[in-house]
Structure 1
């Protein structure tokens, strides 16, 4: 078992202005099936529409935002959760000072940066 605190995990740049990621659980810790990431988007920040061959499970921790997926937009807030199927174009935009969410994905080599592997 591993127990950690998200603030002890380095916050990394994503390449999108105002968007950071913390890899909370990854193969680096021995996770073989899933990875858990913590995203923070500052007000107005966006992750544009994109898609992957894997699903996403998302839980909104703090703030409000817009998530686009399946050809529609959803206004989401803390406590909401989402499922994004594989290959569905999706994107995120922060409406509040910070929009923070957990995103769980399969632990696939193509989905996870090399430095998150053991």
Structure 2
């Protein structure tokens, strides 16, 4: 069993092209023995964003803090704490923070061996 506070996990800066002002903490992953899913928490600074991208696996997102914009192609939808998102495999997506406060969300993906 693993039990920690998320702030005890080191923040990493994603290296993907198209990222601005975003960090990630890998809370649970294959390194912890999680064979099926990984749990991550992302923090996006004001004016920051994730890449506008797609991939071959689904993932689930839960907005923890702050407000943002979910972008999928030309579609844009507001995000607030408590909102959740299901992103299908191959679906174009991006999360943007256009507010003046940080935005934070949890994201679950299949473990690297599964995607």
With normalisation by structure 2, the TM-score equals: 0.89
Question: Residue in 1 aligned with 2:59?
Answer: 56
**Is 1:11 aligned to residue 11 of structure 2?**
yes
Question: Residue in 1 aligned with 2:68?
Answer: 65
SS of residue paired to 2:47: coil
Deviation of the 1:17 alpha carbon: 2.7
Deviation of the 1:109 alpha carbon: 3.5
**Is 1:25 aligned to residue 31 of structure 2?**
no
For structure 1, the residue ranges without an aligned partner over 5 or more in a row are 112-118
Runs of 4+ in 1 over 4 A off after TM superposition: none
For structure 2, the residue ranges without an aligned partner over 5 or more in a row are none
Structure 1: distance between partners of 2:51 and 2:8? 28
SS of residue paired to 1:13: coil
RMSD: 1.5
